[in-house]
A and B are shown apart, each in its own frame.
Chain A
Amino acid sequence: MKNRLKVLRAERDWSQADLADRLEVSRQSVNAIETGKYDPSLPLAFKIARVFALPIEQIFSDDDAVQSAAQ
């Protein structure tokens, strides 16, 4: 799964620690999600969407869906 976390965070000038505080998770968790090492659970994904005030699909996208669209 791909995500735009790093871009959205940069737009708001938030550090990983700032976002981690807002999400009430560790900075390591934010880093793991940003780098694609870890896919968040549905509740955490919704929380991320709430923090950025965006629909969830504007933050996360399915790899297979992106490839299908490109083809």
Chain B
Amino acid sequence: MSTQTSIRRTYLFRAMICGIAYAALTFGMKVAIRDMHPQGVLLIAMAVAPALAIIAYFILFARYMMQVDEYQRHRMAQALLIAAGVMLSVSSIMDFLQAYAAQPPLEPFIFTISFMFVFTLAQAVLHIMDRRQT
């Protein structure tokens, strides 16, 4: 197994752990806050706990970007720009709909998760385009 493949597998495994941790913390903290009625610092700590998994993922991603070869880094930067463009466009549309067309605001947390989804989708599309041109 090449170094690059090994780096990718490690990244995917750790990213999966972050995803599972995010889901578990989101669900777990929602139930815990509802049932335990924490107050003060404990409430704040429990409320922000799911965000730690997201932050951990971004740190993991930054490290991965530094480890991969230059072409993969170039492709990931392209996917990031696509995701940022799509999400900022959608966000702008939703803001104007909210401001002038009395649309309800989006559910909380949806922006980050949608960004990750679009980023993953963009990477997949670029990967498929690469394979077609092989």
The prevalent SS among residues of B at the interface is helix
Q: Is the CB of A26 within 8 A of B130?
A: no
Residues from chain A with Cβ under 8 Å of B3 in the complex: 24
Q: How many residues of A contact B (CB 8 A)?
A: 18
Cα–Cα distance between A29 and B3 once the two chains are bound (Å): 13
B130 to chain A, nearest CB (A): 6
A38 to chain B, nearest CB (A): 5
Q: Is the CB of B130 within 8 A of A29?
A: no
Q: Is the CB of B133 within 8 A of A37?
A: yes
Contact of B70 among A21, A27, A41 (CB under 8 A): A41
Residues from chain B with Cβ under 8 Å of A25 in the complex: 4, 69-71
Q: Is the CB of A24 within 8 A of B74?
A: no
Q: How many residues of B contact A (CB 8 A)?
A: 14
Among residues of B, the one whose C-beta sits closest to the C-beta of A24 is: B3
Q: Is B39 an interface residue (CB 8 A)?
A: no
Binding site for B on A (CB under 8 A): 17, 20-21, 24-29, 31-33, 35, 37-38, 40-41, 44
Q: List 22 A-B contacts (CB under 8 A).
A: A20-B4, A24-B3, A24-B69, A25-B70, A25-B71, A26-B5, A26-B71, A26-B72, A28-B71, A28-B75, A29-B69, A29-B70, A29-B72, A31-B130, A31-B134, A32-B71, A35-B133, A35-B134, A37-B133, A38-B71, A38-B74, A41-B70
